[in-house]
Amino acid sequence: MLAKLKSFLFDVDGRASGPAGVSGHTHEELHLAAGALMVEAARLDGHFDDDERAKIHDVLRNRFDLDEDSTATLIGAAVEAADNIPEIFGFTRTIRQHFTHEERIEMMEMLWEVAYVDGKLHDYEASLLRQITGLLYVTDRESGAARKRAQGRLGLAEGR
């Protein structure tokens, strides 16, 4: 699956592919791009613990209506993809091109939820999520509202 995603995201020379290179996408590839972004957000503080993995599992399972085995496989592939594809631009472009604007806002909400699962937001996580917000063409206001919803779902007070 990783080789398929790499060919989906990049052309033969390893450069990011443009709109012409995205015609054969599958739901699995889109799920993998979303999962890899979540893994990257979770690992940015230097830790990828069981709570973060469990939150990613729950978010992916519920958002994409996956069974347990498919979700576990997806998380393993997402970790591998995040390890082997060093930039987020391919993942964000895939999501931007194939998710509706509302789905991209929902993606930001999922990312905020993963970032806050340990109860606090680290500077690197905040920086990455601000960068992803722009790359997904989500406004700061929309991302802020998604952040508040994620904090509310986790039972966190605003400003943490």
| Phi/psi of residue 46, nearest 5 degrees | 90, 0
pLDDT in tens, 114-155: 999 988 898 989 999 999 999 999 999 999 999 999 999 999
Q: What pTM was estimated for this model as a whole? A: 0.76
Domain boundaries in the chain?
26-153
- Rounded CA-CA distance 1/20 in Å is 20
Fold of 26-153: TerB-like (1.10.3680)
| Phi/psi of residue 66, nearest 5 degrees | -100, 155
